[in-house]
A and B are shown apart, each in its own frame.
Chain A
Amino acid sequence: MMRGLGELESVIMDRMWSYRRPASVRDVLEDLRRERQIAYTTVMTVMDKLHTKGLLTRELAGKAYIYRTVSTKEAYTADLMRESLARSGNQAATLVHFLERLTPEEAGALEAALQVFPPRGRG
Chain B
Amino acid sequence: MTAVALTLYPLLAAFILPRVLGRAGWADRAPRLAITLWQAACASVVGSVLLAAFVLAVPPAVVGHGLAAFFAACTAWLTHGTGMTVATTGIAVTVAGAVVTRIAYRTAAVLVRARTERRRHAEVLARLGRHDERLGAIVVDYDERLAYCLPGRRASTVITTGALRSLSPEQVAAVLAHERAHLRGRHHLVVAGAEALATAFPRVPLFERARAELAGLVELLADDMAARRHPRVLIATALVGLATGRTPASALGAGGDTALARVRRMLRPETPLGRGQRLAGALTVGLLLGGPAVVALLPGLGSFLAHHCHELLAR
Contact = CB atoms under 8 A, between A and B. Distances in A.
Given A9-B127, A87-B253, A98 B246 contact: no
Contacts of A100: 253-256, 258-259
Contact of A113 (B117, B149, B191, B267): B267
Nearest to B160: A81
Interface of A is mostly: helix
A102 B114 contact: no
A92 B256 contact: no
Contacts of B160: 81
Nearest to B222: A96
Interface string A68-93: 00000110111011111111101111
Contact of A107 (B148, B168, B244, B252): B244
A123 B239 CA distance: 11
B128 A80 contact: yes
Interface string B94-126: 000000000000000011011001100101111
A95 B114 CA distance: 9
A123 B258 contact: no
B118 A110 contact: no
A117 B243 CA distance: 18
A91 B191 contact: yes
A106 interface: yes
B263 A84 contact: no
Contacts of A88: 253
Contacts of A83: 121
A44 interface: no
Contact of A10 (B117, B126, B237, B267): B126
A84 B255 contact: no
A31 to B, nearest CB: 17
Interface stretch (B27-35, B50-58, B228-236): B228-236
B171 interface: yes
A71 to B, nearest CB: 12
A110 B262 CA distance: 10
A82 B128 CA distance: 14
Contact of A93 (B178, B179, B191, B242): B191
B263 A110 contact: yes
Contacts of A35: none
A100 B233 CA distance: 20
Interface residues of A, number: 45
A62 interface: no
A98 B178 contact: yes
Contacts of B191: 91-93, 96
Interface in B128-170: 128, 140-142, 144, 146-151, 158, 160, 166-168
Contacts of B234: 121
A88 B195 CA distance: 12
A111 B127 contact: no
B218 interface: yes
B238 interface: yes
A18 B262 CA distance: 41
A53 to B, nearest CB: 9
A4 interface: no
B231 A121 contact: yes
Contact of B237 (A78, A87, A95, A123): A123
A110 B259 contact: yes
A93 B188 contact: yes
A66 interface: no
A90 B113 contact: yes
14 contacts: A80-B125, A84-B148, A92-B188, A96-B188, A98-B242, A100-B253, A101-B251, A103-B251, A107-B240, A113-B264, A113-B267, A114-B263, A123-B168, A123-B238
Given A81-B146, A98-B239, 8 more contacts: A10-B126, A77-B142, A78-B142, A98-B175, A102-B259, A110-B240, A121-B231, A121-B233
Interface of A: 6-7, 9-10, 13, 73-74, 76-78, 80-88, 90-103, 106-107, 109-111, 113-114, 116-117, 121-123
